[in-house]
Each structure stands twice: as structure tokens, then as C-alpha cells.
Structure 1
Amino acid sequence: MRCPKCGAELEAGSIYCNVCLQELQIVPDYDPLDEMVIGQEPEESQKETEEQLHMEQKPVPGQLKKKLRQSKLFWQLLCTFFAVLVCFGIFLLSYRSMGKQNNYSYQLKKGRECMEAEQYEDALPFLKQAQSLLGNTEGGDIEPLRLLAEAYVQLDAKELALECMKDAILVEAACRGDQYELEELYLELMELLNQTKQTNLIGEIIEECEYEGIKEKLEPYRIEKPVCDMAEGTYHYYVTLELKAEYGTIYYTLDGTEPTQDSIRYEKPIELTEGENLLSAVAINKKGMVSEPLVQIYRLEFKYNPDMDKED
């Protein structure tokens, strides 16, 4: 055995060179069986590891039941939690809804919003609820009744509109009795009667008014239906009609159309012509109140030549 560095002769089994002190590397003898064993060891070791892991992962029957129970309990708790959460949400919404339902300001606000948007049908429930929260004569706030009257006018429910305005007057009289406010309410009532063509009730309402000062201011609003001196029907001779109205100026038409201030103003007796005459007459006063119309039909049928009588 020689040193690979200096070439000195060395004893077998030496680790260092005695001459140059070079460390010697001992190479073991080659054995083919060792290589085969080394090549097989990793495969066998891998198989053993996989089998061990498989055994560890394979649950024991008792452990499997325990895991199933735990999983079932988890889902039950989760479902219960969500159910409680949903119930709480429903309760919260119901509570808020009930709070709004019983809140006068909220109901009145919603009613106003619907009125401003011209959603009169939708405004009714809110305004009715607002009024019910006040009571008939408590609180003294008549705005819900005023708005209800306006909504009913727009919905062509004139009787209900009139009832609401009358209730507003009663509430104001019972709670505050403010003469100025009462006067305003009566004037609004006059306009409502004119708008809904119920002016035939004006005289009755004025007579029922208990406040002399207000009653005096309502007198110019009086209006009554015109009257005619001849009953409607069929005539075989010339007919002239005389109309009278205690309040206001009379306007009329003979074709059945509704009279206005632009129609014929009555100033002298009306001469009817042969055939059918559809008289429609109203009285209009200085306050613009229009009376209930007088409507009558006259038919003139001549069995002889009326011109001959005129010549005679």
C-alpha cells in the first residue's frame, strides 16, 4: 500500500502517511449483493410506511360513531342558531312595524307623502290610522281630517269628504274653539261643497252654524237652484219661460249642456222654439258658488201653422 501523494510504502490499515501526513481514504471492497440490498430497502420501507399510515387513518368503529355523533350535533346546533337568528329578525321587524303602526307622526307623514305624489287611494290607510290614534275629539290636530277630505274629493267620494270636514269643525270646536281656525274650516267647507257640486247644502250648513260672526261671513256664499214659472212638458203653442234665483245671477243653455259664466246670461224671458228645448240653468253668486242645475225639457208641437196666428 503506497501513499497517493508521496508514494511512500505504508503498512496495511494505515490512516495517515508517516512521511507526508496525508490522510488516506479507505475504499471498501465492492460487493454486488450490497447494491441489490440497498436498491430494495427504499421500496420495502416505503411500502411499510404506506401500510402504517393506512392503518393509522383507518378509523376504529367506536371512533367512527363518535365522529358521526359530533358531526350531527354540530349541524343541529348550526341549524338551531340560524333558526333563532331568523326568529329574532322577524320579531325585530314586527316590533318596528308595530311601532310605526302606532306612531301618529309616522302615519301622518306617510299620508302627506302619498297626497303630494297624488296617490290618494294609498294615502287613505295612513290618514285613517293617524286620525284613529288621535281619537275623535282628543289631541286637537285636524290635519288628518283635512287631508282625508281632500283625498275623498279627488276620489269623487263627496259624501265622505263632507263628513270629514264636518268632523274637523267639531274637533276644533271641542278642543280649542279658535274662532279664526273655525272660520277657515267653514270657508274650506264652502269651497268643498262648490267643488263637489253640493251647494244645495250651503243654506242648511249656514243655519246650523252656532257662531254668529262666522255665520255672517258665510251669508255671501248662499246659493239656491233657479226656479221656472212653467213646468216641463209638451206644448202646442208658443211658450216663454221666466226664471228666478234668490241668490246670484242665472246662466242657461237650451241644448242640454252644463251652463257656465260663459253661457247665456238670463236677463229677460226665454222664448222657446218649435221642437225640443233642453233647458239647463244655474245660479252663480259673487263668491263663485254654482247652484244645483235646473234641468227641464220642453217640446213645442204645433198642429196648425203658427205664422197665421202671428199675422192675425
Structure 2
Amino acid sequence: MKCKNCGTEIPAGYVYCEKCGTEVQMVPDYNPLDDVLTAQVRGALDDEQPRERIIPKNLKNKNGMISYTVTLPVRTAYEEEPEEAAEEAGSPAIKRERRDAAERPQKRNTPKKQKSKPRRPVERKEEPKEEEHRIGLKERKRQLEEEQRRKEEKERKRKKWARRKARILSVLFLLICCGAVSAVLYLNSYSGLVYTGNRYLADGQTGKAIDKLTSAVKKDDSRTEAYKALEKIYLAQNDMDTPEQLYLAAVKAHPANVELYRACIEFYQNTDQLAKISELLDACENDGVLDDLNMYVSSEPKFSLEDEHYDDVQQLSIKSSGEAIYYTLDGTEATTASLLYAEPIQIPEGVTTVRAISVNQEGVPSVEVTKTYTVEFPIVDAPAVSPSTGYYDLPMQITIQVPEGYTAYYTISSAAGEIETPTSASTKYTGPVAMPEGNNIFCAVLIDSKGRSSEIKKMNYELVLQ
């Protein structure tokens, strides 16, 4: 069988065309004349209402089927159907009349006018098979439409998911690209270089760690993270000079950077070089840095005596705002292991070098202060000795004039030997001394109560008795 719409061959058992969807006509074409004749016969039997002529308009549609329009009288809802008409419509006589009218030539006569009577519209009863077929076609069409809707909905969802998937993939791609770029930028940044250096250090790759951390310092020498990591590496190698040089170069390049100064101070504390903290801060000229790090500032000790020459024993006092003062008198460096200052220091005759430091509450020693004192007692004239130097042939007495507050000491030595210098340990002069025989040297000195000595008086006596 071929489709009346598109001409496509329809396989047996199909009720619609697979190409265009047109339904297959399973029953003969409906003839409207049958309804017309039935209506005319029924109108003739109706005694109360005259029949109206029903004029069919026959047309053919594009499929070759008859299309028509029939105008039938319609009974209103409130009009009741006479029982007699209902009985006559179902009687055998009426049925025979209808068959006879169908067999007679199709001649339309104008029905006689009858009394007006409500007319019941003619209803065409379909055969059970036609009804089942029609219902089956409708159900099949509904199923096809439902299936088509499902396909369209599925396709719509597929396209929607495809668009969503494309957007998601695009976003993921952009995120991956951004993440890759960010990772590259981070690894080449200061923080990334420090992070990589610490990772290498944790893995024991010291050389690579130093390279990365050095690169970080070159990228930004004002931050402390790289310096601290390098400090850890060099201290593990017992190298204290390299990190110190790095810190000093950093504070020199950034004299107002408090954090660099703080990191350098912590380095000195970790390496027990507390004295260098005061040297570092003493060289700092930035008031802001000194204010922020004032807890590490240790004031220098103040001496009561300046560097001078003195002719008498002196008493030295030392003061400081720190917790303690330590000092030395032998010229060695003062440390926290030196003498603890508790009372004034006596400066004796001679040269005395005093070195002192002050230690604050943080245990940071101040810059060392050094003072040198010279105490020289005034030298009195040599004592007067009589008789004068010369040759004597009679016994003589040697006398020394001793001023008040002094004691005279003397020595007698042979002129042919070594001359002995008189000191406080020599023979004390208490009165005239007999001149010895021979050629001798007499030496005398005066020493006061403070141990100060006069010049030495030398006399050469030669006594030859006759």
C-alpha cells in the first residue's frame, strides 16, 4: 500500500506512514449521502416539524477524499424529545422506509410543511471496529507525539548539558591555566624562592637551598626570611662570619628597616655575641629604629675621672643606668666575667688602664669604655749630705739632712764594684755615719710617708788614715 500523501510504500501491518506520519485509511470513505437520506426519511415521519432541506457541499481535499459541510438542525438543551418519535425511530417500519429510500433514485423533493416540532439531531453510530480502530489510531498518535516530545526533551537536555559541559570545561581550563601561571609566578617570587629553599634544606640539599635563598635576597634584600634561613645553614656549618656580613650589609642598605636590625640582634643573641648588639645600635643613626629597639640599648658607663695625669693617688667612681657594671684594671677586655663594680676604685701611682661595660635588663652589654690614668708623685730634691766628696786622711762622720715628713735611706758601695741604689729596703738613716776606709760611694735617698722618693744623692769618699 502507498501513502496517499507522499506516495511512500507502507509495509503491511503499519497504520501510519513512516516518512510523513499520515494515518492509513482502514475503512471505506464515508458517504455523506447516507446521512442525508436518513435525515430526510426521519423528517418525513416527523408530524410536528417540517423537514429542512439539507444541502451537502462536496469538495475534494488534497488527498482525493471528499470534504463536505452539512447543516443540520440542532435541538436545544431544554427541548424534550417526544416519546412517539423515539418509538417510531426504532420501529421496523422506519428501518424499512430508510432502506427503500436508499434504493430509490437520489431525487430530492421538497418535504411538506408540517407543524413545528423540536427535532433531534441525527447522530451517526459508528461500528465497534471502526471505533476501536479510531481509538487505536489516536492512541498511536498520542504515543508518537509523546515519544517525539521525549526525544525533543532528551535532545534539549543533551544540548543543555553539552553547553553546560562546555562552560564547565572552559572554566576548568581557565582555572588550570590561571593556576599554572600563578604557580610559575609564585615559584619565581620572593616567597616562592624562600619556600623552595626551605624545602631543599629540609631534604638535605644544602647547595640548592643556598642558591634559592641567595636568589631571594637578590630579589628583595629588605625582608628577613631568606636571611634567617641562610643563617640556619651557615651556623650548622660553624660559620658565623657569613651571616653576620649578610646582616650588616642589609642594615647598611636599609638603615631605617627595624626588622633587619631585629633579625641581626637575634643572630647575635643566638651566637652569644651580645657585646656586638651595642656596637650595632651605637652605629645606628635612625631615631625610629632606636626607639623601637630601646630594650636592647645599653647605656655606656660614666667615669668620674677623665684621662689625666695625677700627682697623687685617685679614687674612681663609675655609674650607669644598667643593671650591673663590670671592669678590669689590667688592660684586658671587660666582660660579664670581670670584676663587678661595687665601690669606688683606688688608682695607685703609675699607669692604670680601666675598661668597663654596663649590662642592661636584657643582658645586653654596652659598648666598652676605656680610660687610662697616670699618677706620678712629685720628686723632691736629693738630700743634702756632708762632708763633700773628696780625699780624707782623718776619720770623718757623714750626715744627711732629712726634711720633715721624709725618711732617709743610704747605701755604701766600693768604688771598684757595682753601686747599690738606695730604696726603702736599704739602711735607714738615724744619725751620723762613720766614713769607711778606702775608696767608697755613698748614696742617699728621701722617701715620704706615701712612698714617694726623692732623687738619689751620690758622694765619693776616699779615706786613707796616716
TM-score by length of 2: 0.32
Which has the bigger relative contact order, CA under 8 A and spacing at least 6?
1
- TM-score, length of structure 1 as denominator length: 0.45
Q: Quick check: which one's strand share is greater? A: 2
Task: Select the structure that is richer in helix.
Answer: 1
Bigger radius of gyration among the two? 2
